[in-house]
């Protein structure tokens, strides 16, 4: 019951934070690019086993020079950090991310209230696609079924055909897959849908819109700050294959023709 109480309290507090956090983050933001939300029709689903898949997406149009400058492993790592920074700011500091060598813990104010625990992020990048993926390990918001399973949170960035000689465009998807929410199993699916799921969609939409500022946060870990480290980033799988994570994914990335089509 303690787990349920903390989960409900966190969801309720996040809902209250939304009333003030969204207004605060929208004030006076200068934009260097344009972000348009393009969620798939069925952006959030739950299968018969209780596994959730949620995908939010945006097309970001930006100066081609800026796109070329940030298409590096270092900036992919900074994009990952920007996601967590946005979550903390949006919740007015109620939700924080604790960094360990082999994990990331999303906590409600402080430990031991770990809402979500992820394995250390995995990065993949080639000339046309970049992926950062956190595998779900445990947490108060995760049911026992989903702990140390095949669930993950992932940001997938794909370069698209140029808008014009000076303007580029990228398609960005934030996906949660094979996530088994504790709220759905402990209380009811409708309660999860009305609280945690809805808050996740709102936060992710806000994050995607915020990318129009091209304000990427400096990484806490700095794994790819040097060119030598950046050379070790593996290629993502071809777009013709299902973009599902595998511990042995090492296929060559898509050709420019595939992605620019």
> How far apart are alpha carbons 140 and 109 in whole angstroms?
14
Q: Phi and psi at residue 81, in whole multiples of 5°?
A: -65, -35
Mean pLDDT of the chain, nearest integer: 82
CB neighbour class for 98 (10 Å; exposed up to 12, middle 13-18, buried from 19): middle
What are the residue ranges of helices labelled H in the chain? 2-26, 64-70, 73-90, 182-186, 189-192, 198-210, 227-230, 256-260
pLDDT above 90 (res 117): yes
231 DSSP assignment: T
Give the CA-trace dihedral at 13, 18, 21, 22, to 10 degrees: 170
- Looking at per-residue pLDDT, the higher value among 82 and 27 belongs to 82
**Which pLDDT band holds residue 196 (cuts at 50, 70, 90)?**
confident
User: pLDDT tens digits, residue range 145-188?
Assistant: 888 889 999 999 999 999 999 999 999 999 999 999 987 766 66
Specify the pLDDT at position 226: 81
Mean pLDDT over 215-242 rounds to 82
Using alpha carbons, select from 107, 108, 196, 183 the residue that is nearest to residue 146: 183
């Amino acid at each position: 019951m303690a787990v349920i109480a903390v989960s409900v309290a966190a969801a309720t507090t996040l809902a209250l934070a939304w009333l003030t956090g969204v207004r605060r983050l929208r004030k006076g933001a200068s934009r260097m690019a344009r972000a348009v939300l393009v969620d798939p029709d069925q952006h959030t689903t739950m299968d018969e086993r209780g596994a959730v898949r949620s995908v939010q997406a945006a097309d970001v149009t930006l100066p081609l020079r800026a796109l070329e400058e940030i298409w590096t492993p270092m900036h992919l790592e900074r994009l990952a950090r920007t996601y967590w920074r946005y979550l903390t700011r949006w919740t007015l500091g109620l939700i924080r991310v604790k960094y360990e060598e082999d994990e990331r813990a999303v906590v409600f104010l402080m430990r031991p209230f770990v809402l979500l625990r992820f394995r250390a992020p995995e990065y993949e990048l080639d000339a046309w696609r970049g992926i950062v993926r956190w595998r779900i390990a445990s947490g108060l918001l995760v049911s026992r079924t989903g702990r140390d399973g095949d669930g993950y949170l992932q940001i997938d960035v794909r370069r698209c055909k140029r808008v014009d000689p000076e303007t580029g465009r990228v398609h960005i998807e934030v996906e949660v897959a094979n996530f088994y929410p504790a709220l759905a199993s402990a209380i009811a699916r409708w309660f999860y849908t009305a609280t945690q799921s809805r808050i996740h969609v709102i936060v992710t939409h806000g994050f995607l819109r915020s990318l129009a500022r091209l304000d990427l946060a400096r990484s806490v870990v700095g794994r790819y700050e040097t060119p030598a480290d950046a050379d070790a980033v593996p290629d993502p799988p071809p777009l013709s294959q299902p973009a599902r994570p595998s511990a042995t994914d090492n296929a060559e990335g898509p050709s420019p023709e595939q992605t620019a089509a």
